[in-house]
Structure 1
Amino acid sequence: MALLCVSAFFSGSETGMMSLNRYRLKHQRKKSSGARRAAKLLATPDKLISLILVGNNAVNILAAIMANALAVIYVGEVAGPWVATAVLTIMMLVFSEVTPKTIAAQNPEWVAFKASHILRPLSQILAPLVWAINKLTNSIIRLLGFDPEKGQDDALDTEELRTVVDASGHKISGDHQNMLKGLLDLETVTIEDIMIPRAEIQGINLDDPIELIVEKLITSNFTRTPLYQGDINNWVGVFHVRKLNHLLRGESVTHSALKRFAEEPYFIPESTSLANQLINFKESRQHFAAVVDEYGEVQGLVTLEDILEEIVGDFTDTGIAEQNEIEPLTNHNYRIAGVASIRDINKATGWALPKDGPKTLNGLALEQLESIPEGNVCFVIGGYRFTTLSIQGNMIEQFEARALQHSSDEE
């Protein structure tokens, strides 16, 4: 029974050591001596495995010899080996394999840290034997075409990190999980995906009468407003609305005064990732930028707040406007505005509409239809069915949409 217990120790140690969470182990090394011992053993996994298997196999072979000898004495030379094999197999499976390995798999840290007290000195005692076995096995591994020196790559890519965040469960709150996933998205999402499109820019045309300009500035819902001359591509500057108070109290408001108090326009390419632009905003101490394409044409604008909202969620009531663009109906149906972005639709519905083409639902529909429909039509994109509800000029204003999977489930 003592040999079975020793065998159980080696079996449980192997499972416990190999089941340790490497990232948690790195953190625990700072405050746990057991974690430091386990980390040193795992630094050379080939030696650790050889050590455990040497001990386990030696004990199992010794147990088999003793069981066979006892069975011959009590049962006889003919039946003894068969009885010993049957009894020892069952006992080893139950007491030395399944039970200790199950406990170790459920409690890897407790088992591994406790076992390291014995495995650490044992590795020093059996070092010559382990070295010889490793040399032999490494030679065989090379003959089979593998590299015995190849280390384990513990680095995680973005999607694997996202899985880790999702698997954190109750240890990280839902809001914090969303923030972490928002940070991971910064590398893959570009300015073009989140910018306010050109058609929705509420700028000030300096060719307009000064009275109209002042009225627009007073009623503006935004802190900063772009100033342009004649054409939206000809940005003159960015005017901070609070400076209007200085102009109204002091000198008269004129076109030249607006230009003088305006900040220099800041231009960025639409293909810039959010991660890079966040750094650029910090280094340039800017909060507001015009987004241009490869030809220098203004395609939209983006603010520092827009990028931060991708991480922490909406600061203001802009989320209400997005909800109005994507309105849930009964039976998994949605009424969606044509100007709604594909990213917002996917986030609100959990769908997977293609994001590598047009950025709005209207653009995606026109790409699919290849023309502006004269009347309401129904079409399918991927696994989603869309029906146009209203068309105004060269734009589809409203859609009704649903996932085909839900349609087939109800049928």
Structure 2
Amino acid sequence: MVALLIIIFSKITPKVIGAAFPKKIAANVGWLILPRIFVLKPLLWFIKSFFSGLMRVLGLQSSSDSRAMSKEKLRSLSNRFASNHHRNILLNLFNLESITVNDVMTHRSKIEALDLSRPIDEVVQQLETCYHNKLPVCDGDSERIVRILSVKKTLSLLGDADLKHQDFRSLLNEPYFIPSGTPVLPQMQFFQDNQQRLRLVVNEYGEALGLVTFEDIVKERIDEYTTSFSNLSTDPRWLADAMYLPSGGESLRDLHRLLTLNLPCNGPRTLNGLILEKLEAIPAHDVSIRIAGIVMEIVQFDEHGVKTVKLYRPIIVQAQD
């Protein structure tokens, strides 16, 4: 009985009160605790050193700092005390360890590239209407990116009536390549250390698979601040008839972020790839399938794959008491 009272009033109750009113309690008792910390600091150091030495003698010394908080504890604390907005940001940071540049890159089919083999007036028109800071440059072969052009550097040239292709070639920079499958965290550190914002992702044969920018990684970390970077509609609401019409090339991660779906992201990275993996063939007619509890109706397709899909919002069934 005495042990139960000690646990309740000496351990549980103070923790609950301290967690509920941390600032108020700290302001009232801080002046009393601080002098005792300085007075008892030598004793605390002696006790800590004694038990640390005893643990080493017994072979029980932990290889990691016992004071370090594990990811599981941080996740639990964020679920309990953080708001939904800040909790999502924190959980995104934890998930970055398992994400590679392939998950966040822009696929080469969606890359806007500048072809310097085209007539000079078409090149100038593309630069005048371009909304990117940097453009990958090819020279006749759209599958082979040879240089990177900073659009800002071309602004002073666009008013010249005697522009030639060589004027733009003199502004080109060497592209930076990154192997496919590179983790996102070290790549973000590279961007910060070298003041770079764009790298090309290549496979083992040196073929460009896509490009990744600093903004792509930031979007993955704090997606609510960067909805303008997404190719999807910025309106996350389903249509009135509980449907949504994405293209087959949309990223599964973007669909999950936009519509809060639980689509598998450990295989194909696009909706088209997920459907083809499920069907094991390119559809020859309109079909409907269910993946991860979501009904998908193929609306448009061709010999290369699925073009447009109709997603039906899953019905959440709540348990009755």
TM interval, shorter chain, is 0.7 to 0.9
**2:189 aligns to what?**
279
Aligned residues: 296
| Superposition pairs of residues 287-298 of structure 1, within 5 angstroms | 287-298=197-208
User: Is this contact kept in 1: 2:200–2:208, CA < 8 A?
Assistant: yes
CA distance in 2, matches of 1:17, 1:149: 31
User: Is this contact kept in 2: 1:333–1:402, CA < 8 A?
Assistant: yes
Q: 2:306 aligns with which of 387, 391, 396?
A: 396
**1:167 aligns to what?**
80
User: Is this contact kept in 1: 2:120–2:165, CA < 8 A?
Assistant: yes
**2:55 aligns to what?**
none
Q: 2:276 aligns with which of 366, 370, 382?
A: 366
Instruction: Encode CA deviations 1:290-339: one digit per residue, 9 max, x unaligned.
Output: 111222110111111221222333447334x4127976134644332212
Select the structure that is richer in helix.
1
Amino acid at match of 1:166: N
User: Is this contact kept in 1: 2:100–2:182, CA < 8 A?
Assistant: yes
**2:228 aligns to what?**
317
1:13 and 2:10 aligned: yes
CA distance in 2, matches of 1:35, 1:175: 39
User: Is this contact kept in 1: 2:272–2:306, CA < 8 A?
Assistant: yes
Amino acid at match of 1:12: F
| Superposition pairs of residues 18-97 of structure 1, within 5 angstroms | 32-33=33-34
| Superposition pairs of residues 11-410 of structure 1, within 5 angstroms | 12-15=9-12, 32-33=33-34, 149=60, 153=66, 155-170=68-83, 174-249=84-159, 252-313=162-223, 314-315=225-226, 317-319=228-230, 321-323=231-233, 328-330=238-240, 332-402=242-312, 406=316
- Over 3 Å counting, the alpha-carbon distance change for 1:382 and 1:178 in structure 2 is closer
Give the CA deviation at 1:379: 1.2
CA distance in 1, matches of 2:294, 2:205: 35
- Over 3 Å counting, the alpha-carbon distance change for 1:325 and 1:179 in structure 2 is closer
Give the CA deviation at 1:277: 0.8
**SS at 2:258's partner residue?**
helix
User: Is this contact kept in 2: 1:226–1:239, CA < 8 A?
Assistant: yes
Give the CA deviation at 1:225: 0.8
Give the CA deviation at 1:405: 5.0
* Structure of greater Rg: 1
**SS at 1:247's partner residue?**
coil
**How many percent of aligned residue pairs carry the same amino acid?**
27
**SS at 1:387's partner residue?**
strand
- Per mean C-alpha deviation after superposition, the further-off stretch among 244-253 and 375-384 is 244-253
- Per mean C-alpha deviation after superposition, the further-off stretch among 225-234 and 149-158 is 149-158
CA distance in 2, matches of 1:10, 1:224: 63
- Over 3 Å counting, the alpha-carbon distance change for 1:241 and 1:406 in structure 2 is same
TM-score normalised by L of structure 2: 0.76
Instruction: Encode CA deviations 1:63-117: one digit per residue, 9 max, x unaligned.
Output: xxxxxxxxxxxxxxxxxxxxxxxxxxxxxxxxxxxxxxxxxxxxxxxxxxxxxxx
CA distance in 2, matches of 1:263, 1:229: 14
User: Is this contact kept in 2: 1:178–1:311, CA < 8 A?
Assistant: no
CA distance in 2, matches of 1:268, 1:322: 26
- Over 3 Å counting, the alpha-carbon distance change for 1:10 and 1:211 in structure 2 is closer
CA distance in 1, matches of 2:185, 2:294: 31
Give the CA deviation at 1:208: 1.6
**SS at 1:185's partner residue?**
helix
Amino acid at match of 2:92: G
Query: What residue ranges of structure 1 are gaps of 5+ in the alignment?
Result: 48-146
- Over 3 Å counting, the alpha-carbon distance change for 1:5 and 1:188 in structure 2 is closer
- Over 3 Å counting, the alpha-carbon distance change for 1:334 and 1:40 in structure 2 is farther
CA distance in 2, matches of 1:400, 1:406: 19
